[in-house]
Structure 1
Amino acid sequence: MTVPLRFGYKASSEQFGPSELLEFAVLAEEMGFDSVFLSDHLQPWMHEGGHAPAALPWLGALGARTSTIVMGTSVLTPTFRYHPGVVAQAFATLGVMYPGRIILGVGTGEALNEVTLGLEWPEPPERFQRLKEAIILIEKLWADERVTYEGKYYSVKDATIYDRPPADQTVPIYIGASGPAATRLAGRIADGYITTSGKDPALYTDTLLPALAEGLEKAGREADAIDTMIEVKVSYHPDHDTAMEKTRFWAPLALSPEEKRDVHDPLEMQRLASELPLERAASRFIVSTDPDEHVEKIARYVELGFRHLVFHDPGHDQAEFLRMYGAEILPRLRARFAD
C-alpha cells in the first residue's frame, strides 16, 4: 500500500451539543485517532435529543484545543445556505490558523438543511451543477488575488480573500457522494472523495469505485492521486443487546433515499424512523461484541481501496466508544495493514 491508512472519528453533531462534542473530539486525538470530521446540518435527523451545532465556529474551537488531528466537514453544502465566497473565506481563515490540518468536505446537500430556510430545492442535476460551480469559484478565490466571476448560479465582483494559506498549503477539497456523477467529479477535480459504509456491496464495486476511477482517468490523474475516505458505521460493545440498541437513534440512516429525499422536518424524519424495527435501524452498522470481527469487516473497505476510515459510533456514551476503539480496534487495524 503506497499511501498510509488514516483512522478518524465522526463527531456526531446531530446527536450532541457543541461543548460535549468538543470534549469527545479532543479525546479522539488523545486516543490516537488521526482525524475528526463532522457534518454541517441546520437541523438534525431526530427532533427529540437532536442537535445541530454550526460546523464553522466548532472547527475553530477544535483546532485551538488540539495539535495533530486533521479536521473538516463531511459534508458542508456550499451552494444554498452559504455563498461559495463565504465558504472560501471561512476555510481560508481556518487554513491560516491551523495549517495542514483543515479539509473542506462538500456535497450537493439535503432538503433537511435547506428547505426550512425557504429555499427552493431543485432536482439532482441542478444541485450537481451548483456544487461544481461553487468549487470552481472557491478555488479561484483561493488562487487569484482579485476575482470577478459571473457563473450561472454565483457571481463575485472584484473579490479578494485577504487571509489565506500560501499556494502550497491550500485547504484540500473533498467531495462527498453516493452516486456516480458526483463521484466522477471527485475523481476529476477533488483532493479527496467521501462516501459512507453499510450499503449494498455492489454499489461500491460496480458503481462508485468505477466512477471514481473513470473521473481520475479522464483528468489524467494517477489512481492514488486523491484521498479515499469512507465513514464506517460501527457499534461496538461487549454486550450484544447494548450494541444493537445503540443504533436506534440513527434509524433515519436506514431509510431509503426515496423515503427521506424530500423530508425537511426532523419531526417527520423521526416519525418515519420510529416505524423501523431495530434490525433495520442496525442494518447500516457493523454490530459486534468481537474486536476481531470488527477488524475483519472494516478490512473489506480497506481492500476495496479506501485509505481514510472515519468511524461513526451511534451510542450516547462516546467517551466509552473512543477509549474502547482506540485501545482495542485501532492497534489491530494498524498492525494488520502495516507496511
Structure 2
Amino acid sequence: MADVGYFLSCEEHGPAELVEQARMAEQAGFDSLWISDHFHPWNDAQGQSPFVWSVIGALSQAVSLPVETAVTCPLVRTHPAVIAQAAATSAVQLGGRFRLGVGTGEALNEHILGTHWPEASVRLEMLEEALQIIRQLLTGERTSHRGKHYTVENARLYTVPDDPVPIDVSAFGPQAAEVAARIGDGLITMTPDVTMVERFRRGGGGANPVYGGLKVCWGPDRREALRTAHRLWANEQLPGELPQILPTPSHFEQASTLVTEERMADAVPCGDDPDDHLRALTAFADAGFDTVYVNQIGKDQQGFFDFYRTKILPALRG
C-alpha cells in the first residue's frame, strides 16, 4: 500500500481535538488527512459537528499534511458556487495540499433547509452539474450558468490556487462508480471492493487514485473496544440506502438497534492485535486502493497513534 492517512471525525470531536489529532497523526507518520463534512452527527452519542471549513483553516496552520474533505455534498445544503469558494480558499491556505472529496450526501445533513430530498439518480445528475460549476469557478474566470438544477450569475472567485483543485467522487454502487470515473479525478469508497475499483478504472478512471476509509477501535481490552465501536458507530453497518434517507440522529439510533455487536466485530478491527489491523488494511491494498484512511473510534487517540506508529505503519512499509 502506497499511503496510509488519518480520518478526522467531525461527528465525534470538536475543532480543537481535531487539530490536535492532526498533529498526532503527522508525528506518528501518517501521510495525509481526511476530514468529514457534516451538519449533524449520525447519533447523539457521537456528539459533535463543527463546521469543516473553519477546521480546515486551522489545520492549514497546524500541520504540513495534505487534507481532503470526505466528503462534501455540494447539492442542497450548500450551493456549489459557495463550495467552490471554500475549496479555493482551502487550497490556497494549504499551499496546494487540498483535495475536494464530494458525494451525493445524506438527508441527515441536507434536509435541514426544508427542501425536497431527491432520489439517488437525481442527486447524481445534480452532482455532475455541480462539478461543472465548481471547476469553472476554480479557474478564476467570470462564470454564469443556467442549468437544470443550478443558476450562477456573474460569479468570479478572486482568491484561487495556482493549480486546479483535484476533485474525487464518492461512490457506493455501480452507477455512482461510473459517474465517478467520468467526472472525478479519483474514487472514494469505504469497502475494499475490487469490483468497484475495476468498474471505476474501466469506466474512464484509468490510473486515477482510489481512496478507502477504515474505522478501527484500538484498545487493550478487545471486548471494551468492541462495545465502544458498537455504541458510537453501529450506523456504519446499516444496509442499502438507509444511511442516505434517514433524516435525524434519532432515526439512526432507532435503526442501529438492529445492528449487533457480532456484526460490528466482523467489520471493525477492535483491540490491540496488530494482525487484525494489518489484515484489514491489506485488504484495501489487495483490492487495488492507493490510500486508506484510518479512523480511531473513541477517546483514546494517543494510545491509537502510539500503536500505529510503533506496530502498524512500520509493518506496512517494511
Q: Give TM-score scaled by structure 1 length.
A: 0.88
Structure 2 match to 1:205: 194
Counterparts of 1:315 and 1:253 in 2: how far apart (Å)? 15
1:155 is displaced (CA, Å) by 1.7
1:146 to 116, 129, 142: 142
Q: 1:275 to 1:125 in 2, by over 3 A?
A: closer
In structure 2, relative to structure 1, the CA distance for the partners of 1:282 and 1:112 (3 Å cut) is: farther
Q: How does 1:100-111 map to 2 (within 5 A)?
A: 100-111=96-107
Partner of 2:110: 114
CA distance in 2, matches of 1:8, 1:260: 24
Q: Of residues 112, 130, 133 in structure 1, which corresponds to 2:129?
A: 133
The answer to whether residue 54 in structure 2 is matched with residue 57 in structure 1 is: yes
Per-residue CA deviations over 1:201-260 (Å, capped at 9, x if unaligned) read: 6xx233x123202222xxxx6x32x11100022233332213322312101111112544
* SS class of match (1:158): strand
Q: 1:278 to 1:293 in 2, by over 3 A?
A: closer
Task: Look up the SS of the partner of 1:257 in the other structure.
Answer: coil
Cα distance change on mapping 1:54 and 1:282 into 2, 3 Å:
farther
Letter in 2 for 1:316: K
Q: Return the match for 2:42 from 34, 41, 45.
A: 45
Of 252, 256, 278, 1:273 maps to 256
- Tell me which residue corresponds to 1:237: 219
Q: Distance in 1 between matches of 2:246 and 2:55?
A: 26
Residue 195 of structure 1 pairs with residue 184 of structure 2 = no
Q: Following the alignment from structure 1 to structure 2, what is the Cα–Cα distance between the partners of residues 44 and 282?
A: 22
Verify: 1:334 aligned to 2:317, yes or no: yes
The one of 22, 27, 32 aligned to 2:29 = 32
By how many angstroms is 1:275 displaced?
Answer: 4.4
CA 1:132–1:27 in 2, change beyond 3 Å: closer, same or farther?
A: same
Shift of residue 268, structure 1, vs aligned partner: 2.0
- Matched residue SS, 1:229: strand
Q: CA deviation at 1:189?
A: 2.5
1:7 aligned onto 2:1: no
CA–CA distance in 2 between the matches of 1:112 and 1:295?
Answer: 33
Q: How does 1:169-188 map to 2 (within 5 A)?
A: 169-188=163-182
Distance, in Å, in 2 between the alignment partners of 1:294 and 1:242 is 17
Amino acid at match of 1:172: P
Gaps of 5+ in 1: none
Contact 1:13 1:52 in 2 (8 A): yes
- Indicate how the Cα distance of structure 1 residues 306 and 160 shifts in structure 2: closer, same or farther if over 3 A, else same: same
**3-state SS of the aligned residue for 1:236?**
coil
Deviations 1:141-197 (A, max 9, x none): 12252112111111212221111012xx22110111111122112222312211103
Distance 1:159 1:251 in 2: 42
Matched, 1:262 2:245: yes
**314-323 or 125-134, which moves further after superposition?**
314-323
Query: Aligned equivalents of 1:291 and 1:263: distance in 2?
Result: 35
Relative to structure 1, is the Cα distance of residues 304 and 312 closer, same or farther in structure 2, using a 3 angstrom cutoff? same
Closer, same or farther in 2 for the Cα pair 1:21/1:82, shift >3 Å? same
2:54 counterpart of 1:66: no
Tell me what 1:296 maps to.
279
* Post-superposition offset of 1:296: 2.9
Structure 2: gaps spanning 5 or more residues: none
Q: CA shift at 1:311, angstroms? A: 0.4
Match of 1:227 in 2: 209
Q: Percent identity?
A: 37
Q: Distance in 1 between matches of 2:141 and 2:12?
A: 40
Q: Is the 8 Å Cα contact of residues 243 and 289 (structure 1) preserved in structure 2?
A: no
Amino acid at match of 1:7: V
The structural deviation recorded for 1:39 is: 1.2
